[in-house]
Amino acid sequence: MDGVERLPPPVRVLNAQGSSPYVLMCEHASRFIPAEHKGLGLATEDLARHIAWDIGAGQVAEALAHSLDAPLVIAGYSRLLIDLNRPVGSATSIPEVSETTAIPGNRNLSAGERARRVALYFEPYQRAARQLLDARQADAKVSAIVGIHSFTPVFKGVARPWHAGILYRKSQGFGHALAQALGGPQQSIAENEPYQIEDDGDYTVPVHGEARGLDAVLVEIRQDLIADERGALAWAARLSAALERCADARRGS
């Protein structure tokens, strides 16, 4: 071995020519942090927690891309380096505290280091998403954005009862239809829980979706339901069926 760390790409685009009307995005798929950042000063067990990534989301997204024949833009680095679903410069873009855990390696960063993380991790992901959506538009392909995320069952000591939530803002029709296709409140599917889409707290929906006039939603699945392969694949199949029903309804309208 030459001792040089083998770094993953900051973004992968899978199934770019997929025939589905859905474009999948998974900004928090990885907990990888290069050795140069020394784990941002966190213990190994902290880097395995939800503060570093969306547990299970990447596996759900990849299975869903295969099932739907949909393109997927998937991140290669931890959200703790820089959050790909936050505007650059927002308070949670490079968090100094995540939930209740201090992130020592993000404190007192220079402007140069912040710009470096934008260049290394943030911009490659956003550029890949832009290029994919531009190509689909040039080919007159219908596109609706579906972000795949997961949330912790307990946040700051408060239990979250939902199994999943569909987050949307301008895409009320699509968001509500997807929540209903997944079973609605009777199946513990919430709308705009446990979060809401906001300009200063989100990037994918406002920028890649709404600014282009595209339908865009985020799917949030409770992490304990997709933490293992069985759960992740089951939820991918469930989402695939629900999204297909929504697409069929749209084609028939």
* pLDDT at residue 211, as a whole number: 98
Q: Is the pTM of this model over 0.85?
A: yes
* pLDDT at residue 253, as a whole number: 56
Determine, yes or no, domain membership for 241: yes
Per-residue model confidence as pLDDT tens digits over 223-252:
999 999 999 999 999 999 999 999 988 776
Q: Which two tokens stand for residue 156?
A: 């700051």
* pLDDT at residue 7, as a whole number: 94
At 191, which CATH number?
A: 3.40.630.40
Determine, yes or no, domain membership for 5: no
* pLDDT at residue 250, as a whole number: 75
Per-residue model confidence as pLDDT tens digits over 83-103:
999 999 999 999 999 988 999
Count of domains for the chain:
1
Determine, yes or no, domain membership for 130: yes
C-alpha dist (Å) from residue 158 to 147, 151, 152, 155: 25, 12, 10, 5
Q: Which residues of the chain have pLDDT under 70?
A: 1-3, 252-253
Domain of 33, in residue numbers: 11-252
